[in-house]
Amino acid sequence: MSEKIKYLSQEWRDEAEKRLRAELTPEKMNNITSSMLNVFLNCPDGKERSLYLNFINGSLDKCTVGEGQLPDAEFKISGDYEVFAKISQAELGSQLALMTGKLKLKGNMIKALKLASISDRINKIFSTIQTEY
């Protein structure tokens, strides 16, 4: 794939879902059942966007990108678009972004820290998508 895909577009979501399903086995995901909602603030077009991921027994159940109404999730992580873009490009670790206040977490912090390595696996896959930020 040589053409870049616009970050958080439907095409980007489709590619992200395809790669997550292909590369993340239930074992690699520690057979987790959890959901995560990333809320992107200050997007370049001034809108607020979201990325929702739901895993059941380690398998990806849902992957959605949207605007407006936000789905309920076990973890809600919010931050600037630029911070998430750096994380998705593997330029910034999600755990460091949380600990330095660049991202805000709503949910169980202890469980979130235990799942940090899983989040890093997801972001590593995102970093392989040829993306226009």
Residue 49's beta-bridge partner residues? 40, 67
Please report the pLDDT score of residue 77 as a whole number: 94
Q: Is residue 131 part of a domain?
A: no
Average pLDDT, the chain: 93
Closest CA to 97 of 89, 87, 106: 87
What percent of the chain is modeled with pLDDT above 70?
A: 98
Q: How far apart, in whole angstroms, are the C-alpha atoms of residue 30 and residue 59? A: 10
Can you give the pTM of this predicted structure?
Answer: 0.92
- Taking only the tens place, the pLDDT of each residue in 91-101 is 998 889 989 99
pLDDT band, very low/low/confident/very high, at 36 (cuts 50, 70, 90)? very high
Domain count of the fold of the chain: 1
Q: Is residue 132 part of a domain?
A: no
Tokens of 113: 């820290």
Q: How far apart, in whole angstroms, are the C-alpha atoms of residue 132 and residue 118? A: 24
Where in the sequence is the domain holding 97, given as residue range(s)?
5-126
Q: Is residue 133 part of a domain?
A: no
pLDDT band, very low/low/confident/very high, at 45 (cuts 50, 70, 90)? very high
Q: Is residue 113 part of a domain?
A: yes
Report the CATH number at residue 44: 3.30.1050.10
Please report the pLDDT score of residue 109 as a whole number: 80
Residues 6+ apart with CB under 8 A from 24: 58, 60, 121, 122, 125
